[in-house]
Structure 1
Amino acid sequence: MGNLDRYSRQVLFQPIGKDGQRKLLESRIAIVGVGALGTVIANHLVRSGVGHVTLIDRDLVELSNLQRQTLFSEEDSILNLPKVIAAQKRLNEVNSTVTIEPIIADLNLDNAEDLLVGFDCIVDGTDNFMTRFLINDVAFKYGIPWVYGGAVSSRGMFAVFKPGKTPCYRCLFPKVPSGMGETCDTVGVLSPITDIIGSFQAIEVLKIIVGAETNPNLEQLDIWDNSYLQMDITDGKNPNCPTCVNHQFDYLDRSSNLQVSYSSLCGRDTVQINPRNKQHIDLMDLEKHLKKNGKVFANEFLLRFCPDQQTALVVFKDGRVLIHGTNDIAKAKSVYAKYIGS
């Protein structure tokens, strides 16, 4: 069961106590995304004595991560270490009694059920809507609670979703937003907001594990404008929700028109990202959105964006995107998430 002495200050907190600490030591948590939110969440959960923590992320440590991704060092970026490997190394130094399982993978419909089933809780450390809808499908299909979080610029939000007890993510956000969302790479992000949101997520995980009441609200805050909003979602279930009411898991269904097709184009060092549910992209608005991040050219048919000398993104009005400079689908998805959003 392990020595409880290292957790003595946590055990003294009555809502946890010895019984709660034992539950934590026996628990299994999956964190999807080991970036700004994920590193904060993992750090707190490992220090709190969660027995098994699985880390899932597709990316490498970059120098620009260090401003907010608290488990990484300059050496990690120089060595181009996968984030999950660098995080595992640091977390093992923090608490050697916790099992840290690093998985270098892009979470998608092919592997989501294999990677996420069997945990006591799933925690969202991602930066895009599509992955969150995928997590939501797995969580509500298999009855696993999950904790959502997001942060960009100076703003953040979080919420807890528990199958059979709360609305699901799709009740609140019925579909992936059309158009292009803000990302940390296009509008920036302040490190205190990721610390705050990740910490709130971590405490909700502890509540789930020990059986305490979780926060019933979708919490939103802006640390620059000093604004705070609580939205009670207790009665927010959509009576026609495809996911939690009709048990229709579109983001796990390859035939669904909500899926996005990713394909490497033979001989072209290019990956095509093609939403089946076509969108209408305002190319002029997108040009304004991207021009501070690289060279942009737009006409009435398409937009071409070059964030660096090796990479170019060509965006069409229907949402289709060509990413030139790689034939690696996981890398292309990472570039897409950075600059386009979902």
Structure 2
Amino acid sequence: MTDRYSRQELFAPIGKEGQQQLQSKHVLIVGAGALGTGSAETLVRAGVGHLTIVDRDYVEWSNLQRQQLYGEDDAERRLPKAVAAEQRLRRINSSAAIDAIVADVTTSEIEALTEGVDLIIDATDNFDTRLLLNDIAHKRRIPWIYGACVGSYGVSCAIVPGETPCLNCLLETVPIGGATCDTSGIIAPAVQMVVALQMAEALKLLTGNKRALRGKLVSFDLWSNQYTAIGVDRLKKEDCASCGSQPTYPYLQASNHSRTAVLCGRDTVQIRPPAPVERDLETLAEQLSRQGGTVQGNPYLISYTIGAHRLAIFRDGRVLVHGTKDVAEAKSLYHRYLG
């Protein structure tokens, strides 16, 4: 095992000193989907000492095409992604400290999640969460790396508080959103390219090679063979509410974080309870079984199928209502079966 990281240490910008720095770092990955699994595996193989991976969802068959840590058994068991990722990552590197958290990342959780973190990796699928990450990163002066992909397109940018413009600044100037995997699908090479872009910047930051950062927002389309790198230094705004001279961090306020969300690429609505709860899944399974329908479960969630809909109920009170994109319909089903 003494030569485990030898090829990485031979790379002069990292060397033995950089390898030691990697082993002392704590990285938070928000999202354990395509970008999250790729990033997590890269960091664990690179020797990052402490990794926290947070995700609100569970493994489904449609994930297996591009989410590299998961297998068919995970999809059959509907295992929470964070749990399945942790199990695979521990087999890859048993010396890494890995925390798996099954939760939705909101204003209630973000302060605790970022305690003692050296770098945040964006592996989310929505700007609601990204802007939350952006604000906490600037409040705590933690660098973070934005990344997104859809179809054959991808985009990435490293954001360093106090030095670069933030995501809030970029959104006002650069068109970096629009299509979703629900409408355009996605191919695995686009995922892998964004992971490569994010992880290259991550290794630079974690080994003290900040001067090597691109300083640009990179976008590409693998199908049409396009690649663009936009200099972002001049986009920083002095009056930005997230990174300006008098920041108010608006996205850390609960009023700016929705309690329902239509999930990307899914005929699914997520509903979070108005206050934190701890559901007794065993008792709930018994109650639901008396209402008809089909109840299945594992230690982390219950799956309740009734008619054309399926409700996945987590211990933290969150519910994924499958079979609809209509928030009102999802809420109606939620209240009908869960009170």
What is the rounded CA distance, in whole Å, between the counterparts of 1:47 and 1:259 in structure 2?
34
Amino acid at match of 2:77: L
Matched with 2:317 is none
Return the TM-score normalized by structure 2: 0.77
Q: Is the CA contact 1:271–1:324 (under 8 Å) kept in the aligned structure 2?
A: no
Q: Is the CA contact 1:312–1:323 (under 8 Å) kept in the aligned structure 2?
A: yes
Check 1:95–1:250 CA distance in 2 against 1; reply closer, same or farther (3 A cut): same
Amino acid at match of 1:13: F
Alignment equivalent of 2:20, drawn from 19, 22, 25: 22
**Divergent runs of 4+, >2 A:** 258-263, 270-273, 311-315, 321-328
What is the rounded CA distance, in whole Å, between the counterparts of 1:153 and 1:44 in structure 2?
23
Amino acid at match of 1:45: L
Check 1:53–1:325 CA distance in 2 against 1; reply closer, same or farther (3 A cut): farther
What is the rounded CA distance, in whole Å, between the counterparts of 1:100 and 1:208 in structure 2?
20
Matched with 2:232 is 233
SS at match of 2:236: coil
Q: How many pairs were matched up?
A: 276
Structure 2 residue 326 is matched with structure 1 residue 314? yes
What is the rounded CA distance, in whole Å, between the counterparts of 1:32 and 1:205 in structure 2?
14
What is the rounded CA distance, in whole Å, between the counterparts of 1:193 and 1:314 in structure 2?
29
Report deviation, 1:272. Answer: 7.2
Q: For 1:107-256, list aligned pairs within 5 A.
A: 107-174=105-172, 181-212=178-209, 213=211, 214-245=213-244, 246-255=246-255
Report deviation, 1:117. Answer: 2.8
Check 1:326–1:65 CA distance in 2 against 1; reply closer, same or farther (3 A cut): farther
Q: Is the CA contact 2:14–2:207 (under 8 Å) kept in the aligned structure 1?
A: yes
SS at match of 1:43: helix
Report deviation, 1:4. Answer: 4.8
Amino acid at match of 1:254: A
Amino acid at match of 1:140: H
Amino acid at match of 1:242: A
Query: Which structure exhibits the higher relative contact order, with contacts defined as CA atoms closer than 8 Å and separated by 6 or more residues?
Result: 1
Structure 2 residue 98 is matched with structure 1 residue 91? no
What is the rounded CA distance, in whole Å, between the counterparts of 2:254 and 2:331 in structure 1?
25
Q: Structure 2 regions of 5+ residues with no counterpart?
A: 262-268, 273-306, 310-322
Amino acid at match of 2:325: L
Return the TM-score normalized by structure 1: 0.76
Deviates further, 145-154 or 116-125 = 116-125
Check 1:72–1:36 CA distance in 2 against 1; reply closer, same or farther (3 A cut): same
Q: Is the CA contact 2:107–2:257 (under 8 Å) kept in the aligned structure 1?
A: no
Amino acid at match of 1:184: C
Q: Is the CA contact 2:19–2:47 (under 8 Å) kept in the aligned structure 1?
A: yes
Matched with 1:69 is 67
Amino acid at match of 2:62: S
Structure 2 residue 37 is matched with structure 1 residue 39? yes
Q: Is the CA contact 1:152–1:188 (under 8 Å) kept in the aligned structure 2?
A: yes
Report deviation, 1:200. Answer: 1.4
Report deviation, 1:327. Answer: 2.7
Q: Is the CA contact 1:109–1:252 (under 8 Å) kept in the aligned structure 2?
A: yes
Deviates further, 43-52 or 232-241 = 232-241
What is the rounded CA distance, in whole Å, between the counterparts of 2:330 and 2:219 in structure 1?
33
Structure 2 residue 88 is matched with structure 1 residue 82? no
- Render the CA deviation track for 1:240-296: whole Å, top value 9, x for unaligned: 1111112111111135xx443549xxxxxx9779xxxxxxxxxxxxxxxxxxxxxxx
Identity of aligned residues (%): 42
Q: Is the CA contact 1:54–1:101 (under 8 Å) kept in the aligned structure 2?
A: yes
Amino acid at match of 1:237: K
Q: Is the CA contact 2:251–2:257 (under 8 Å) kept in the aligned structure 1?
A: yes
- Render the CA deviation track for 1:203-222: whole Å, top value 9, x for unaligned: 21110011112120000000
What is the rounded CA distance, in whole Å, between the counterparts of 1:102 and 1:84 in structure 2?
5
What is the rounded CA distance, in whole Å, between the counterparts of 2:257 and 2:72 in structure 1?
37
Structure 2 residue 327 is matched with structure 1 residue 327? no
Matched with 1:103 is 101
Amino acid at match of 1:97: S
Q: CA RMSD, aligned part only?
A: 2.3
Q: Is the CA contact 1:217–1:232 (under 8 Å) kept in the aligned structure 2?
A: yes
What is the rounded CA distance, in whole Å, between the counterparts of 1:216 and 1:140 in structure 2?
17
Check 1:325–1:207 CA distance in 2 against 1; reply closer, same or farther (3 A cut): farther
Q: Structure 1 regions of 5+ residues with no counterpart?
A: 264-269, 274-307, 316-320, 329-342
Q: Is the CA contact 2:165–2:235 (under 8 Å) kept in the aligned structure 1?
A: yes
